[in-house]
Amino acid sequence: MRIGAHVDRADPLAEAAARGAEVVQFFLADPQAWVAPEERTDTAALLATDLDVFVHAPYRINVATLNNRIRIPSRKHVADYAAAAAQVGAKGLVVHGGHVDKGHDVADGIANWRKLFTSAKEQFPLPILIENTAGGDNACARKFDALARLWDAVGEFNVGFCLDTCHAHAGGEELLGIVDRVKAITGRIDLIHANDSRDPFDSARDRHDNIGAGEIDPDLIVAVIRAAGAPVVVETPGGAEAQKADIDLLRGRST
């Protein structure tokens, strides 16, 4: 079982060491901005590490939207961040499932996801890992009926799946048996985001909490990790000390 954390991008390997992590995830720039990936000085070390490295794409990316002013830069950002993530040896680029605006049809958003791949000049150099999201009525990867339609459209393009336990709970998908339900749709789970949720089931709110501190029974998170057999990242608050405690708890219960 390989478990780690989402950490600050300044020095991910030092942050991983401080947490006893075997997996590390980070951003390549300010996740709230429309900016290019930053130059890195630790590329050689990241390529040489035994850790599993994952990169999380900026939050503004919304591949699905019918709004050209967001969708067009989103496509360019996915391509640019995929290239930069591959350069540091990442195993996948995590991209949120996205949504269409109120009054628009999710089917059009799913068609836009397909166009991300069919319109790309070349194949992305690493798998794009689509992450389930917590909120919105018009999301592509919140409820699994929409996820199934999304996968019908993109499954052929070496797409992976990132399952976030907080987002599933807050998004209204039961964690009990969820790995089987996901795999029946996607055939794969590439990464688990193991997060507790501050908010109730189906609340549509995305507020992560430390394992056991929120609304989710930690045994359910452990069961998800065990069943998935994929690398695990905690995206929990509290810095190195609190994340190390989360990692230790999950490792202790899942082995």
Can you give the binding site for Zn ion, defined by CB under 5 A? 164, 193
Output 104 or 205, the one with its CB closest to Zn ion: 205
Instruction: State the Rg of the chain over Cα.
Output: 17
Q: CB nearest Zn ion: which residue?
A: 193
User: Which residues have C-beta within 8 Å of that of residue 241, sequence separation ≥ 6?
Assistant: none
Nearer residue to Zn ion within complex by CB, 112 or 197: 197
Of the two residues 15 and 164, which places its CB atom closer to Zn ion in the complex?
164
Helical H segments across the chain, by residue range? 12-19, 43-48, 68-87, 106-118, 144-154, 165-171, 178-186, 218-228, 239-254
C-beta neighbour count of 202 within 10 angstroms = 15
Find the shortest distance in angstroms from Cβ 105 to Zn ion. Answer: 26
Spatial distance between the Cα atoms of 57 and 131, rounded to a whole number of angstroms: 11
In the complex with Zn ion, the residue whose CB is nearer, 77 or 169, is 169
- For the bound state, the minimum distance from the C-beta of residue 96 to Zn ion, rounded and expressed in Å, comes to 8
C-beta of 206: minimal distance to Zn ion in Å? 9
Least distance in angstroms from the C-beta of 133 to Zn ion: 9
Instruction: Note whether 188 and 179 are within 8 A (CB).
Output: no
Nearer to Zn ion, 124 or 161 (CB): 161
**Least distance to Zn ion, CB of residue 205, Å:** 14
- Measured CA angle at 126 (ends 21, 121), to 5 deg: 155
